[in-house]
Amino acid sequence: MSTWKRDFGSGLIVLVPLIVLLLVIGWIYRHIASIPLISTLEPDWLFEPILPLYRVVIALVVFTTLVLAVGYFMRTTLGRIVEARIDDSINHIPALRVVYNASKLAVETALSGTEDLQNPVHLETWEGIRMTAFKTGKKTRDGKLVLFMPTAPNITSGYVIEVEPERVTDTGESVEEAMTRILSAGFAESTHQVSVDGEPGDAPSGDGVDVPTDADPVGGDRDESTDHGDASDSPPPGGRGDPDAGA
């Protein structure tokens, strides 16, 4: 892959999430600020330049109060029943359930607050093949680790795996690096991986000695046709090519 394609891909990975985040924040603000009660709360003593800031503060206060009220309600038995009914209803809608579950998973992951979620690991699923997973901070009763292995590039789906601790190794990456690699389907730049073909001059040259491609492998079998030649071209054991030398 050429340099400009890699740079373009890296730029998309950085900018697209930021643009989506700004669009979501703007959408939430516009809808909260358009509530009739908030739109009419404009005291006459406020200067015109600070009116936008005043609307932002009021919108944040209303949103925070709403979140706290809903959170408190969900702690009750009735709240848990309502949440289960909402989840069940939305999961019957084919397209909407994907967006709903993805958003819910993202919020739950961001607010979990456990250190183990910030620890990507490698799991050898088959001999010589390893996959990236994330610790959930949970264990089974028999001592197995519970991991979440996301699919690429859609991390909202994946597998919950119970595995022996000795089969898990740390990747040495941060969660951001591991997530970026998964979201980009492995094409993102990373300090933990190198290009297979690479750019000219990028590939390591070993000790600097050029080895011809047709050189014999060390300790390998040699081709008799190359080493000894044709028997008709070799001098006989008794002389230097004269057929009468042995007479």
pLDDT, residue 204, reads: 45
Q: How far is CA 71 from CA 67, 81, 100, 118, 237, in A?
A: 6, 14, 18, 25, 98
Residue ranges in the chain whose pLDDT is less than 70: 1-2, 6-7, 9-10, 13-14, 36-52, 105-106, 108-118, 156, 188-247
pLDDT, residue 220, reads: 45
pLDDT, residue 189, reads: 65
Q: Note the pTM of the prediction, 2 decimals.
A: 0.40
pLDDT, residue 65, reads: 87
- Residue 135: is it exposed, middle or buried by C-beta count within 10 angstroms (0-12/13-18/19+)? buried
Q: Is the peptide bond before 153 cis (omega within 30 degrees of 0)?
A: yes
pLDDT, residue 179, reads: 78
pLDDT, residue 153, reads: 74
Tokens 């996959």 belong to 131
Q: How far apart are CA 100 and CA 97, in angstroms?
A: 5
Q: How far apart are CA 98 and CA 8, in angstroms?
A: 28
Residue 157: CB atoms within 10 A of its CB come to: 11
Structure-token pair, residue 110: 């961001």
Residue 132: CB atoms within 10 A of its CB come to: 19
Q: How far apart are CA 246 and CA 238, in angstroms?
A: 5
Tens-digit pLDDT profile for residues 115-138: 545 588 888 888 888 888 888 878
- Residue 44: is it exposed, middle or buried by C-beta count within 10 angstroms (0-12/13-18/19+)? exposed
Q: How far apart are CA 152 and CA 158, in angstroms?
A: 9
Task: Write the CB contacts of 11 (distance below 8 Å, at least 6 apart in sequence).
Answer: none
pLDDT, residue 112, reads: 59
Structure-token pair, residue 194: 């190198």
pLDDT, residue 86, reads: 86
